[in-house]
Amino acid sequence: MASPIDPMVKTYPMPAPKVSKKVFPIAGILCAVYGLDELPAQAKEVSCLYLMHPRLSTADSMEGFACHAIADWNSRLREGRVSPSQENKGLIAVAFDQRNHGSRLVDKLSNGAWREGNPKHAQDMFATF
């Protein structure tokens, strides 16, 4: 289910740069890892950008953001636009579906509010803590 108000719309140029994406099941959750193939050969450290999708969205909605962030970082490395302490750092991004969203959807009604017919709205929202 796509969010009626997607806060990611128009936050970065389209189309997004091409960046590798590999999906791994980790602890029973499908995790999309972006940028593994683009890690620079000189990288001795790797930073991970965890991307959390907006409410009522999915991990797939974060792909453009992941691709832009990784492409921008790698461009800065190639062009020498990073501080010397950053020259050996690579960047990957990871996104996964939040509980009851996307590939983890169990009950669509539980993502709604009282006015949308969800009698357990308070419990469902409390579960975010």
Mean of pLDDT values over 98-114: 87
Query: pLDDT-derived band of residue 4, with 50, 70 and 90 as boundaries?
Result: low
More confident residue, 10 or 90: 90
The pLDDT tens digits of the residues spanning 22-75 come to 999 999 999 999 999 999 999 999 999 999 988 888 999 999 999 999 999 999
HSE-up (13 A, CA, CB side) for residue 82: 15
Nearest 10 degrees: CA dihedral of 58, 64, 69, 75? Answer: 160
Straight-line distance from the first to the last Cα atom of the chain, in angstroms, rounded to the nearest whole number: 22
Full-model pTM: 0.83
